[in-house]
Structure 1
Amino acid sequence: MTLGNAPSSGDEAEAHDAGVDAPVEPQAAEERYTNRELSWLSFNRRVLAESENERYPLLERLRFLSISGSNLDEFTTVRIAGLEGQVQRGIETTGIDGLSPRQQLDAIREQVLALEDRQQESLEVLRDLLASEGILIATVEQLDRKSQSWLKDYFTTDILPLITPQAIDPSHPFPFVASGGMGVLFRLKRGKRKGELVEMVLIPSGVPRFVRVPGELAIYVAIEQLVTQFADQLFPGFKILGDGVFRVLRDSDIEVEDEAEDLVRYFRTAIQRRRRGRAVMLELDDECDASAEALLREHFDVDAAMIVKTGGMLGLHDLSSICNEPRPDLKFTPFSPRYPERVLAHDGDCFSAIREKDIVIHHPYESFEVVVDFLHQAAVDPSVVSIKQTLYRAGDQSPVIAALVEAAQNGKAVTAVVELKARFDEERNLRWANELERAGVQVIYGFTEWKTHAKVSLVVRREEDGYRTYCHFGTGNYHPVNARIYTDLSYFTADAALGRDAAKMFNFITGYIEPDSLEKIAVSPIGMRQKLYDLIDVEISNAKAGRPSGIWVKMNSITNRELIDKLYEASQAGVEIRMVVRGICSLRPGIPGMSENISVKSIIGRFLEHGRLWAFANGKVLPSRQAKVYLTSADAMSRNLDRRVEVLVPVTNKTVHDQLLGQVMLANILDTEQSWSLDSSGQYQRMRKGEDGFNCHEYFMSNPSLSGRGSALQSHEVPRLTLSGARK
């Protein structure tokens, strides 16, 4: 198969005349698509596999283990909870592969249990390896007397005052346990009195999960270990007959009701309801006392298939705190993002640099500070008259929020579209909205039924030749912490047409004024789907006419049946499609008669791939300067195409076009060291490193971007990439 060349209709006719039967396109749903939930579990297995990657430093491997645990918690509280809700309501709507909610749950539970077992196996391996490096994740019994004595004193002074044992009997109802909450159930007997007593101790959510014992060795002990080990201080005069550690996960999704009259008030109450959602999973220590286990099973009323018993550790996401141990020898070599040299060449003036030429910033290799500086300069520049900004996730200590507040206080007209429906950030976004409103910012909450997921800043500046609009379009959120971990793209432009389109998008969100004639961008849920179809149709036409064709795409997930079918149609026409899909992929590549011209890979590594790009050959062999290149905030999911406000932005500036296609996209396609290849059965295989292995993260850490360098390229040429690899 040669990239960009498609078989002509004549080739097909020759095969037919020769008596060779053309492959039959599969029709059954399970043969055409992969279940969304099972594909996500496959993604989390790839994340977990990085904890087993012997090329990584040990604390980084532990971090991947904690990430896989956190991922699985969210999957349980949202996706499994949603399917269970459908089963309870008698909903029989099938998934993309034809499975009913009940069938999906049965398949999911089997894989979740296997994933939990593999996580515990990884923890045991890492425990031994970390111990050899002087970092112990230990039980109290494993420690010497001196350490045990210190822990006992710590328990008495720092933990005992914070916990409250509660009897469980007719006069003391079972206490509420929040989602993710952990506790210990004790079965006790007092002296010679008849009968037994059951007591519960909830682990306080505000205390560190792991206690570090002072000393040369880094010894970490989980707090539930201290509660069980020193329970005699909690229950003086009682004999402890048995105990059991447990953890509960609850339904944490928030469904917005169409008739909600006040989104702010609705979400304030919905957040409280979420904390008390239906229990979805109960995790138990496998040495849990039988009576305690029976009581927990009865109270939480969790489907028996979602009760997980483990001899390992509960709540693996908390291991992330141990990763902060100051051992640089057990972590990745520190990396400091570069500040774009072209902005520095303009003495740090973002507007001057953007006015000269469009620029794209590749995070985390290039600093998110340039985005913050763009907004801060807008806030203090007397020539700036207005700022419009979308906010989906902004983080806890947000310099973006601070810049918008400062701008409003300086008399600018500032509008902020704050998305209240950003899952698990609803409470934080309510807080930001209040702060912005107090500063005089016009806060808009967008649509009731749609999320505003587009990442756009629009700054209008009064200049000598009139008003000029500066725009920032991003693939990631305005979140400084995430920008150090997620690979994303920030596109700055002063293109007048893009500015007019962005203004229409904001008017659509703030005033429901649907844009009737966008000049360059496409916006979902209005026209993005059709725009993608039109672009794919051009490639289909070119392939059928014997002209070069091809599609390269990079995204996080693809689950939309109609778009998948459109790509299948392109493959059948002979269009070669290369896809880099980090997470969920319901498309099945490499199936004769349907998708034999589609290849899919997933990149999992030091950074979380998050940028989204489309490239269309446009009659030339990819990569070429004639190709049409788009960056977008949207994945290929129904929610992004039909239920979210998203943007698809064309990139025509030569330097930015070359960077996105010839650096970012091509490097992702060439990567072998962090890549997993998806086969036609829906299974992933790790790509082999080989003698000519290529690591796209290392390439980007070592080489500055094209558009961020400007004239600096004259003194230091960036190594160029070709489909055969990197060259000078």
Structure 2
Amino acid sequence: MQIDITEHPNYINQEKSLLEFNRRVLAQAKNPEIPLLERLKFLCISSTNMDEFFEVRLASMYELTKDSAARTRPDDMCPEDAIQMLSAVAHDLVTDQYHTLNNIIIPALEKEGIRFLRRSHWSEQQKEWMRNYFTQYLHPVLSPMGLDPSHPFPRVLNKSLNFIVSLEGKDAFGRSNGLAIVQVPRSLPRIIKLPPDATDGPNDFVFLSSILHSNVSRLFPGMMVTGCHQFRLTRNTNLFIDEEEVDDIMKALQGELTSRQYGGAIRLEVSDQCPKPMYEYLLDQFNMKEHQLYRVRGPVNLHRINAVPDMCNRPDLSFEPYAQRQLPGNKAVQGPLRLFKRNKQPESIFDRIKRKDVLLHHPYDSFTPVIDFLKTAANDPDVLAIRMTLYRTGEKSAIIDALEKAARNGKEVTAVVELRARFDEDNNIIQANRLQDAGVNVLYGVVGYKTHAKMILVVRREENLLRHYVHLGTGNYHHITTRFYTDFGLFTTHPAICRDVSKIFQQLTSLGDTKDLEVLLQSPFTLHSGMIAKIQREAENAKLGKPARIIAKMNGLQEQGIIDALYEASNAGVQIDLIVRGICSLRPGIPNLSENITVTSVIGRFLEHHRIYYFENSQASPELYCSSADWMQRNLLSRVETCFPILDKDCFQQVYTEGLAIYLEDNIGAWVLQSDGTYVPKQVTATKLAFSAQKTLIEKYS
């Protein structure tokens, strides 16, 4: 019987929408207007995105199948039907990835003298170099495993490179095994650049898998290798911790992390040359079905090719470097955050913020002022306390260094460290232990609710009063991602904002009831209802004939209550322009439902990461908010998030213009969502000349 996998007519399946986002990323790899090595990076990003899709999204879907009553949200699909639909889309995408690699990227690279040498084209000189490389670097660390009753099929690490080898002949003990497994340590590079004495090209590369494949017979002396095929297994990496039942979430999380690499099998990738009996044998070993099999024409891990751009000295094939702007108005600066008035007297960062709100637009603005703000606070004898939320910080973080220094200098320092930030759990545990050793009060957030808010609060003694200084942001306190993610950060001493931030920190530490915020909206308490109320207000204004408009920019839109409110506002006549980078479950352009809604996704050099919400409010007093939260169910109902108003008129205009208006004009990186869930590129027309929001901002800030 054929299964009906038709989605709910009013909502797009969120996982399918995520795959459509990855299709747009992959399209960048095919775009001849983008520098070639950057196109290679986009291909690798699409591969990484697909890995996470299988590890997290599809893995969660398989978990749902254990509950017969479970349905996907908001499209209300049976999980089994959703898996069938998503598998078909994912297979198509993976096929497109390898077609892009083999038929577009590799030929273009060869024209530029960047070659991936195939085994069939190796010269005798190159073969000799490969043999020597195998002898010196591979053979000593490989442990081939012949399969027999005393050598069972080995445990396979998540996303590791492995080979299944078929053999003929007798082993050292006179037995015929037939099959063996070779597991490749993760410490080995997957792609090797050949030295000048091994080749005649300046940028010639060979895959590690090719070297192993050509020398694999040396691992099985006395036997004949009749087949050697690479494979990779993707596992479920979701962590399952009953937070209500554990005494120490850090210890529980550490225990779960050790088993993450051996979660349930979700996807099997094999070489397209692998014969059917061998991949069926692998499927059987991992208890998988054939729709979970992906036969690929190339390396089973495209992401590892991402090393090539850094190994080539070809700046002409990459984006032109840009210079991040330092703190606005801070061109002749000596030392961290020392600004100068006309009388040449130094002005501290605290004086600057006290005088006027300071807005940073990353990555066009440097992240250095945020780090220096904390460094200055750590060393300032008038600073009494520092409180901060940490979701992702990265390794060797200057943020962590500053908090350590502050604690050692006698400040009262509190850090709310979210240990459950996906794939950063190990690093966050390390950083939390560092902070505790320095005397920082470290908390792990709230049981059942990830702390995703981005907040810093500094309490400073000034004359006879205590003044609060606050930084709020839309992105993480991560010095690396701030160079590639677009985000806003606000420094302010606005009394109402500071009081609200102080209340939220008090809530996170004492767990007391703090819902009477003045101007901030907070998940899981007031943000969801607050956004719906503002959408409904626009609808009421439209019904009364007043100006009504909503512009919102975010990473994902999936929460059904928000979507339904937007549909109602559209029917009331509100013009709604949504800029949604990734998942969008709303269907735009449907008569009598969403005909006044447009959805645009912008894909470019930087990862669009702002969360900005604008409500026209009949033009009397328009409201503009920035937030750490997307309009996703998890952000609005299952996390601790903040949404803060932009109250300074200059900052308001900057956020509106640079975060919203110019993105609505973009027709270079913009894709327009259709009501059927597909996206089409926004077109340059005779009346709309080519315009890129990111390029415009780079030129402005540089």
TM-score (norm 1): 0.90
Shift of residue 606, structure 1, vs aligned partner: 0.4
Aligned match of 1:9: none
Taking the aligned partners of 1:664 and 1:279, their CA distance within structure 2 comes to: 41
Taking the aligned partners of 2:48 and 2:72, their CA distance within structure 1 comes to: 27
Corresponding position: 1:675 with 2:670: yes
Aligned match of 1:211: 192
SS class of match (2:298): coil
Aligned match of 2:238: 253
SS class of match (1:246): strand
Write the mapping of 1:245-324 to structure 2, written as runs, cut at 5 A: 245-257=230-242, 258-324=244-310
Aligned match of 2:690: 693
Shift of residue 292, structure 1, vs aligned partner: 3.4
Choose from 167, 171, 178 the match for 2:150: 171
Counterpart AA for 1:228: H
Aligned match of 1:604: 603
Corresponding position: 1:41 with 2:19: yes
Taking the aligned partners of 2:368 and 2:297, their CA distance within structure 1 comes to: 45
Corresponding position: 1:645 with 2:640: yes
Write the mapping of 1:59-70 to structure 2, written as runs, cut at 5 A: 59-70=37-48
**Structure 2 unaligned regions, length at least 5:** 1-5, 334-338, 341-345
SS class of match (1:230): helix
Counterpart AA for 2:301: G
Aligned match of 2:449: 450
**Structure 1 unaligned regions, length at least 5:** 1-27, 706-728
Write the mapping of 1:92-491 to structure 2, written as runs, cut at 5 A: 92-124=70-102, 125-190=104-169, 195-215=176-196, 216-257=201-242, 258-324=244-310, 325-343=312-330, 344=333, 345-346=339-340, 349-491=348-490
Taking the aligned partners of 1:330 and 1:162, their CA distance within structure 2 comes to: 36
SS class of match (1:499): helix
Aligned match of 2:336: none
SS class of match (1:396): coil
Query: Does the 8 A contact of 2:146 with 2:177 survive in 1?
Result: no
Shift of residue 290, structure 1, vs aligned partner: 4.5
> How many positions carry a matched residue from both structures?
674
Counterpart AA for 1:232: S
Taking the aligned partners of 2:179 and 2:701, their CA distance within structure 1 comes to: 63
Query: Does the 8 A contact of 2:553 with 2:611 survive in 1?
Result: yes
Taking the aligned partners of 2:66 and 2:551, their CA distance within structure 1 comes to: 42
Aligned match of 2:3: none
Taking the aligned partners of 1:294 and 1:510, their CA distance within structure 2 comes to: 54
Choose from 39, 56, 72 the match for 1:78: 56
State the Cα deviation string for residues 452-488 of structure 1 (Å, max 9, x = none).
Answer: 0000011111112511111110100011110011001
SS class of match (1:341): coil
Taking the aligned partners of 2:129 and 2:498, their CA distance within structure 1 comes to: 63
Query: Does the 8 A contact of 1:549 with 1:575 survive in 2?
Result: yes
Taking the aligned partners of 2:66 and 2:48, their CA distance within structure 1 comes to: 26
**Range moving further from structure 2, 220-229 or 359-368:** 220-229
Counterpart AA for 1:659: Q
Taking the aligned partners of 1:593 and 1:430, their CA distance within structure 2 comes to: 51
Counterpart AA for 1:261: D
Query: Does the 8 A contact of 1:363 with 1:488 survive in 2?
Result: yes
Aligned match of 1:25: none
Shift of residue 619, structure 1, vs aligned partner: 1.1
State the Cα deviation string for residues 419-471 of structure 1 (Å, max 9, x = none).
Answer: 01111111111111011100110000011200000000111111125111111
Counterpart AA for 1:694: F
Shift of residue 514, structure 1, vs aligned partner: 2.1
Counterpart AA for 1:453: H
Taking the aligned partners of 1:271 and 1:701, their CA distance within structure 2 comes to: 40
SS class of match (1:468): strand
Counterpart AA for 1:262: D
TM-score (norm 2): 0.94
Shift of residue 313, structure 1, vs aligned partner: 2.3
SS class of match (1:229): helix
Taking the aligned partners of 1:290 and 1:529, their CA distance within structure 2 comes to: 51
State the Cα deviation string for residues 128-164 of structure 1 (Å, max 9, x = none).
Answer: 1101111112323323222222222111111211111
Query: Does the 8 A contact of 1:136 with 1:217 survive in 2?
Result: no
Counterpart AA for 1:214: P
Counterpart AA for 1:300: F
Shift of residue 669, structure 1, vs aligned partner: 1.1
Shift of residue 39, structure 1, vs aligned partner: 0.6
Corresponding position: 1:616 with 2:597: no
Query: Does the 8 A contact of 2:625 with 2:644 survive in 1?
Result: yes
State the Cα deviation string for residues 598-657 of structure 1 (Å, max 9, x = none).
Answer: 11100001000001100111112xxxx942100000000110110000001011101100
Query: Does the 8 A contact of 2:663 with 2:693 survive in 1?
Result: yes
* Residue 295 to residue 450, structure 1, CA distance change in 2 (3 Å): same
Query: Does the 8 A contact of 1:243 with 1:289 survive in 2?
Result: no
Shift of residue 557, structure 1, vs aligned partner: 0.4
Taking the aligned partners of 2:701 and 2:150, their CA distance within structure 1 comes to: 68
Taking the aligned partners of 1:250 and 1:190, their CA distance within structure 2 comes to: 34
Taking the aligned partners of 1:563 and 1:597, their CA distance within structure 2 comes to: 16
Counterpart AA for 1:333: E
Counterpart AA for 1:462: R
Shift of residue 29, structure 1, vs aligned partner: 6.9
Query: Does the 8 A contact of 2:7 with 2:13 survive in 1?
Result: no
Shift of residue 291, structure 1, vs aligned partner: 4.6
Counterpart AA for 1:459: V
Taking the aligned partners of 1:340 and 1:467, their CA distance within structure 2 comes to: 25
Taking the aligned partners of 1:381 and 1:355, their CA distance within structure 2 comes to: 16
State the Cα deviation string for residues 668-699 of structure 1 (Å, max 9, x = none).
Answer: 11111100011222211001234511100011
Taking the aligned partners of 1:690 and 1:317, their CA distance within structure 2 comes to: 36
Shift of residue 521, structure 1, vs aligned partner: 0.5
Shift of residue 287, structure 1, vs aligned partner: 1.3
State the Cα deviation string for residues 73-102 of structure 1 (Å, max 9, x = none).
Answer: 000011111111221443432432221101
Taking the aligned partners of 1:91 and 1:396, their CA distance within structure 2 comes to: 42
Shift of residue 662, structure 1, vs aligned partner: 2.4
Taking the aligned partners of 1:517 and 1:81, their CA distance within structure 2 comes to: 39
Query: Does the 8 A contact of 2:612 with 2:659 survive in 1?
Result: no
* Residue 170 to residue 348, structure 1, CA distance change in 2 (3 Å): farther
SS class of match (1:534): helix
State the Cα deviation string for residues 316-338 of structure 1 (Å, max 9, x = none).
Answer: 11121112122101100011211
Query: Does the 8 A contact of 2:555 with 2:583 survive in 1?
Result: yes
Taking the aligned partners of 2:320 and 2:683, their CA distance within structure 1 comes to: 23
Query: Does the 8 A contact of 1:528 with 1:641 survive in 2?
Result: yes
Taking the aligned partners of 1:564 and 1:684, their CA distance within structure 2 comes to: 19
Taking the aligned partners of 1:656 and 1:341, their CA distance within structure 2 comes to: 12
Counterpart AA for 1:136: R
Taking the aligned partners of 2:303 and 2:585, their CA distance within structure 1 comes to: 27
Aligned match of 1:21: none
Aligned match of 1:14: none
By relative contact order (CA 8 Å, sep 6+), the higher-ranking structure is 1
* Residue 88 to residue 168, structure 1, CA distance change in 2 (3 Å): farther
Counterpart AA for 1:76: F
Aligned match of 2:558: 559
Shift of residue 509, structure 1, vs aligned partner: 1.3
**Range moving further from structure 2, 138-147 or 118-127:** 138-147
Aligned match of 1:8: none
